[in-house]
Amino acid sequence: MSKHDDIIERMQESIIEAEEEDAEAAAEAALAAGMDPLDAVEKGFAEPIRNLGEAFNRMEIFLPQLVLSAAAMKAGLSVLEPALKARADYEASRKGTVAIGTVEGDIHDIGKTVVIAMLRSAGYEVHDLGADVPMPNFLQVAQQVKADVIAMSALLSTTMLRQRDLIELMEIKGVRGMYYVIVGGAPVNESWAREIGADAFALDAFETVAVLNARERLESSNA
């Protein structure tokens, strides 16, 4: 097993065992070994948290266990984030300004954190509104920071409806045309994005960067 594989395994174990300090230490080891931090996030942290989610669905583990594993993942991510940010600053050109948040009623913020890390490392200026974000806040911050992209994360089939609400609010306020709107999160797909009149959907953090770089617009199903 290579040194990198060994570190990925340590990262994965830290999430499965829900050990915050181990997650931080493994993330530090990944940086020290010169691993690509984005690759480390996806393989070392995102993969095991998804597997735990599936175990939770099969009722093999309990919710508190998942909460603790999510906390370990956030601790590990916080170690990798400065490295990702540094890489983004190094890439001189700013590709755009993104205001991103998880919609109101939804506290899931891990996927959004990964998306942010990827966008920053790709040269985007990203303003993180956090989770459980009320609709008007998206517009307020987007205006303040002169964003050209609004990105909404939703992990629940109930809260993904808020993505539609924000687009409707933007239409009402006459600002819809000012922003490129991208939506994502586990229950979200391209057909939902079309239905609600979003400009784009991306399946994961890698695709988000590719989609924003291209900035093609989905044709709305209402058109």
Give residues in contact with ligand B12 (CB under 6 A).
46, 49-50, 53, 56-57, 63, 66-67, 70, 105-112, 114-115, 151-153, 155-157, 182-187, 202, 204-205, 208
Q: State the Cα–Cα distance between residues 17 and 100, nearest whole angstrom.
A: 30
Nearer to ligand B12 among residue 32 and residue 187 (C-beta): 187
Q: State the Cα–Cα distance between residues 83 and 213, nearest whole angstrom.
A: 22
Q: Is 44 exposed, middle or buried (0-12, 13-18, 19+ CB in 10 A)?
A: buried
Backbone angles phi, psi at 7, to 5 degrees: -70, -40
Nearer to ligand B12 among residue 3 and residue 60 (C-beta): 60
**Does the CA dihedral 70-182-176-180 come out positive or negative?**
positive
CB of 9 to ligand B12, least distance (A): 19
CB of 153 to ligand B12, least distance (A): 3
CB of 207 to ligand B12, least distance (A): 7
End-to-end Cα spacing for the chain: 53
Nearer to ligand B12 among residue 32 and residue 63 (C-beta): 63
CB of 59 to ligand B12, least distance (A): 11
